[in-house]
Structure 1
Amino acid sequence: MPPRRAITGRSQEPRQRFAEELRSLRAKKGDSLRQLGDAVGWDWSLFGKMENGQTIGSPEVSQALDIYYGTPDLLLTLWELAAGDPTQFKERYRRYMALEAEAVSMWHYGVSTVHGLLQTASYARDLLSAGGIKGEQLTRQVEARIGRRALLDGDDAPRFRTILSETVLRTPLKNPEEWRQQLEYLLDMGERPNIMVQIVRHQVGLHALSNTDAMFLRLPDGRTAAWVETGYSGELVEETAAAERLQLSYDLVRDLAMSPVESRKFIRQMWEEASCEPST
């Protein structure tokens, strides 16, 4: 029997086919990249890179696009084929979670969102929903995320520093009251002796971590491991020299951040501004 021929005219190479499908769906919708970014909630430049084949993005992005285009699981399936090994990211993250549970101190930098350990349930739900998660799966993931906050409780809790870009505080939830609750939670957690919250203002300009979320874990044996994440990929860094280079970038960003006292005043200012806005 002769081999089956492709009749669609589309590429049979997974990454190329994924990019072609993205371009085709957007063309049918009639959206510009900026319009797509506004509608789905991700930076429009990411979609340009995905359509050009520079990156395949994350499964969360593909899920969100499937919802927007009305193509249930099509893009997610193509993403899995393009990724080659869809379990790779999950395995790396499971390894990170195991190291996190052992950490004696943790240092975080956040580009656009509050770290999961400092999120309220409403914030976590809105963030996960924006990634296309819904129904029972959404409920389970919110509960799991809130459950992780116990890591910062107790007498033996690790020291935790989070440095947040001003963007985090300029990106509110749709519900003003829920947003105020999130800001209050940041203030409350910042009062704990083992937690430090700092803000990097826009006015400092570009810096070494301008587009990269990072978490550094100081382990009991003195080693430092890092989890580095952009909008479309995540990487666990355990090699000493590489982790130290990343930590130097973090130290430079810390030098640009406001002090914990100044940061607290800024968060309070954001809370007051949110409180003055009329509820809808």
Structure 2
Amino acid sequence: MSPTYSPTVRLRRLARELRKMREENGLSPESAAIRLGWSRSKVSRIETGRTRASASDVANVCDLYGAGSSVRAGLIQLAKEVRQRGWWTAYADVFTGSYIGLEDEAALIHQWEVQLVPGLLQTEDYARAVISAGRPEPHDAEDIHRRVMARMARRTLLSRPDAPELYAVVDEGVIRRPIGNPESMRDQLQALLVAARRPNVTIRVLPYRAGAHAGLEGAFTVLSFTEEVDPDVAYVEGTAGDVYIESSDQIDRYKMAFERICDAALPQDASMGLIAEAKEQLSHD
């Protein structure tokens, strides 16, 4: 398997700054490529974050665009930081997209889930049941175990000193649908009750009685970052592939949808009561 990496916030920032410098100099991608001695596709890949620019690449671009010494030094340092390996690269065979790298640097995560407990809140047994059920063909136990361990490693994000704030809203079906055996489902519901006690975690439930609502089109996540220069990203996962939305207009649509979902959801205390009730019912089934 060839090495893979997850584009990070720094990679997006570097790409954005290099593209902005070119545009401010009135150069087309083709003209910049000719002057740099690069291919047109290399300029495009670097400016869209699909390729990591080396420090020497960034130095050459800064020279071409006449960047000041402080800007030049800052962008070269950014290029060096982009090449640092995140913890998730140890699971490059599992995390093949860019989402984990973005999630790892987010300051605020707004998540709407329709079918499953959010990955950051899943217990090991629940995750194993989900991952096993989602494999189209029988996979060996080692492969499933590795994917479960990757998900458990990802879950530690919420307990880091610089942990992001997670604001998750789940459909009532998430807590009613039995995943795995009754005991593992009870443990999962208990884990949600415990997670909600964290100061950086909010969990709310959208009840069945809400009827038609703004989240009917499916689950999505909006990631926000500490630095204002880093725009929000919306993420939609699907069987046909993952979609990353960065257009400000589209991001606003997802934010508005999330607000409307929250308006229809139960308050956190009532949500915890519903989760505790679902857990109690499992004890008597």
- Deviation (angstroms), 1:174: 3.6
- Deviation (angstroms), 1:93: 6.0
- Deviation (angstroms), 1:98: 1.4
SS in 1 for 2:142: helix
Distance (whole Å) between structure 2 residues aligned to residue 233 and residue 161 of structure 1: 24
- The one-letter amino acid paired with 2:173 is T
**2:278 pairs with 1:276:** no
- Deviation (angstroms), 1:96: 2.0
Counterpart contact for 2:94–2:150, Cα < 8 Å = no
Counterpart contact for 1:201–1:257, Cα < 8 Å = yes
**2:210 pairs with 1:204:** yes
Aligned length: 188
SS in 1 for 2:97: helix
Counterpart contact for 2:236–2:244, Cα < 8 Å = yes
TM-score w.r.t. length of structure 2: 0.63
Counterpart contact for 1:208–1:249, Cα < 8 Å = yes
**2:113 pairs with 1:105:** no
Distance (whole Å) between structure 2 residues aligned to residue 105 and residue 261 of structure 1: 21
Structure 1 residues 232 and 270, CA gap change in structure 2 (3 angstroms): farther
Counterpart contact for 2:130–2:179, Cα < 8 Å = no
- The one-letter amino acid paired with 1:228 is V
**What corresponds to 1:240 in structure 2?**
248
Structure 1 residues 125 and 98, CA gap change in structure 2 (3 angstroms): same
**What corresponds to 1:146 in structure 2?**
152
Counterpart contact for 1:173–1:179, Cα < 8 Å = yes
**Residues 133-168 of structure 1 deviation map (CA, whole Å, 9 limit, x = unaligned):** 542110100000011011101332111011000010
Gaps of 5+ in 1: 1-89
Aligned mate of 1:131, from 126, 129, 134: 134
Question: Which runs of 4 or more aligned residues in structure 1 lie more than 3 Å from their structure 2 counterparts after TM superposition?
Answer: 90-93, 230-233
Distance (whole Å) between structure 2 residues aligned to residue 231 and residue 204 of structure 1: 27
Aligned mate of 1:159, from 149, 160, 165: 165
**Residues 65-99 of structure 1 deviation map (CA, whole Å, 9 limit, x = unaligned):** xxxxxxxxxxxxxxxxxxxxxxxxx9996322211
SS in 1 for 2:214: coil
Counterpart contact for 2:126–2:180, Cα < 8 Å = no
SS in 1 for 2:173: helix
Distance (whole Å) between structure 2 residues aligned to residue 230 and residue 138 of structure 1: 20
Task: Give the aligned CA root-mean-square deviation in angstroms.
Answer: 1.9
Distance (whole Å) between structure 2 residues aligned to residue 185 and residue 179 of structure 1: 10
Larger radius of gyration: 2
Structure 1 residues 93 and 240, CA gap change in structure 2 (3 angstroms): farther
- Deviation (angstroms), 1:257: 0.4
Structure 1 residues 157 and 110, CA gap change in structure 2 (3 angstroms): same
Question: Matched residues, percent identical?
Answer: 32
- Deviation (angstroms), 1:233: 3.8
- The one-letter amino acid paired with 2:237 is E
**Residues 193-229 of structure 1 deviation map (CA, whole Å, 9 limit, x = unaligned):** 0000000011111222214111111112232111113
SS in 2 for 1:138: helix
Gaps of 5+ in 2: 1-92
Structure 1 residues 91 and 267, CA gap change in structure 2 (3 angstroms): closer
- The one-letter amino acid paired with 1:210 is L
**2:191 pairs with 1:188:** no
Structure 1 residues 180 and 207, CA gap change in structure 2 (3 angstroms): same
